[in-house]
Amino acid sequence: MCREEAAELSSLKPQLEELGVPLVAVVKENVGTEIQDFRPHFTGDIYVDEKKHFYGPLQRKMGGLGFIRLGVWQNFMRAWRSGYQGNMNGEGFILGGVFVIGPGDQGILLEHREKEFGDKVDTADVLEAVKKIVPVK
């Protein structure tokens, strides 16, 4: 389901470039051809955080019981109907997120942490946060 969100965020790339803001993904692993398979859906730079520092000291996970949640199945069906497929490789229980981080002391301007698999950020919220970034001189 992250591929669906990656494609939606990638659709913002022209506006982000106009504002001078890069689009970057931080992923936790690269099993097999995982990143290569992800690239068609994400137009920004992709970095692998093998030590999972970016994921914080308390990694947020949703165990196997997460699959019985109605919202997860609704998100899965939405992504599947849109033509997005995932994979069953690697560690798939760590929840992700989307952050807009400003330079210097601006810090985090938007923080969206998945509450369940497929819980996507609103791209309008991303653009709103990006427009608050004050360039460093």
What positions carry a catalytic annotation?
A: 2
Pick from 125, 93, 133, 88: nearest CA to 5: 125
Of 55, 3, 58, the residue nearest 29 (C-alpha)? 55
Q: Where is 8: in which H helix or E strand? A: helix 2-10
In single-letter form, the type of residue at position 108 comes to I
